[in-house]
Amino acid sequence: MNNQNLKLTIVVCVAAVALQLASLTVPVAAFGMFNMAVRPLVFAVLAAAVLAFMGRDARPIPNAYNFNLMAFVAVVLLGGTLLSFAFIFGAADNAIAPSWSVMSNNLWNFGSVVLLGEYIRYKLIKSANPRTRMGIAVTLTLALAFTHMGGGRAFVDGIITVDAVFVWIFAPLVISVATSYFAVRGGLLSAVLVGFAYNMVGYLTPLLPYVTPLVYSLMISGAMFVSVIICHLVTNEKSRDARIREKRLARYAPKPVFGYVLTGTIITVIFAFFLGSFTMYPVVVLTGSMEPTLARGSLAFIEKIPPEEVFEMVGEGYVIHFTNPYGTEFIHRVVGHWYNHHGERHYITQGDAGEAEDPFPVPQRDVLGIARASLPFFGYPYIFFQAIQSSFN
């Protein structure tokens, strides 16, 4: 049975990879028929072969109920994540699922492949012996993840972007890894619930949060990752008992004073940095006016400049942090300057995403600093809490 299991795994993986590669060469006119007939048919044949050779397994699955419950929690977490992001950023029509007829089509074209694939994954993993189970699980994880990686034609054409990598590679891989985790430790229902919900949410949801594809893929992957962590902590009774014993022992262990001092110092430095006590301070980018240089939700690092040094340090092309006459802070690029009758320089600014210059000149005394670097997405927690606060106000 073990050799048969290994051979079936190789056949399934080769067939799944070959099917996905074949989709790259199918003419555009025949692509819809390929998804509607060929893909579901091949996976149906593979599932029938697995069932015929592996047979039915009536052995009880330990903790099956707990894992089914955790799979349901993972689906609820996914729905809550979508609703939260839609509440913060607004919702937009899903171009992949614009109508009920298209969603029904997607349910057959892609949903049937997901369901059959999860059944194959579960049967082959559960039928393997402990020595080969991990290898089979890893192989199936990669093969089935590749099956759900869309946008292959764009990669063939050389269109490779950060969004494409995260949406078409990273997210399917994270979902496949998590589904294999549920298949290894839980029952068929838990693997099917998680795999179907996370793979099909983009094909069956008519409305999605109004975010970039990159943020959407990170949102889905993050919800999946958190679900696995929660499942592991809840179902791992041995680890939980060990943690309780460690906490009890820690009460009587000598306290490392150096560790506390170091931790307190690090926390103090971080707070001082965010409060602007150093020459470099962070600013959250709240709008998309500077895209693609500074995307909304980025954390920009600004070098603080004294007013008397602005004249020498700031020139055209610099991205500056400044305040307007009403006290509102902006981060825009300098596109020109002029002098008033006192010889004071005034900067003309403009956002990279716009075509019009800002309506107010920026005196050099209102320039706070120069943007030197940025980290994408690190400002979203601030935007999240700001949106919650404004909703209550």
Q: What is the pLDDT of residues 201-249, one digit of tens each?
A: 988 888 888 888 888 888 899 999 999 998 888 877 554 555 566 556 5
Query: For 122-141, how does the pLDDT look when each residue is reduced to its tens digit (9 = 90+)?
Result: 999 888 887 888 888 899 99
Least confident of 83-97, 159-173, 251-265, 315-329: 251-265
Percent of the chain's residues with pLDDT above 70:
83
pLDDT at 256: 59
pLDDT at 320: 94
Domains observed in the chain? 2-242 (no CATH), 280-392 (2.10.109.10)
pLDDT band at 335 (very low <50, low <70, confident <90, very high): very high
Q: What is the dihedral of CA 133, 138, 141, 142, to 10 degrees?
A: -150
Average pLDDT over residues 70-78: 92
pLDDT at 237: 58
Least confident of 43-57, 230-244, 262-276: 230-244
Residue 288 token pair: 């998309």
Q: What is the 3-state secondary structure (H, E, C) of 41-85?
A: HHHHHHHHHHHHHHCCCCCCCCCHHHHHHHHHHHHHHHHHHHHHH
Average pLDDT over residues 109-117: 92
Distance CA 81, CA 221 (A): 11
Average pLDDT over residues 191-209: 90
Report in angstroms the alpha-carbon separations of 361 from 223, 330, 337, 340, 357: 45, 12, 8, 11, 9
pLDDT at 252: 56
Centre a 10 Å sphere on the Cβ of residue 172 and count the other Cβ atoms it contains: 22
Distance CA 148, CA 55 (A): 27
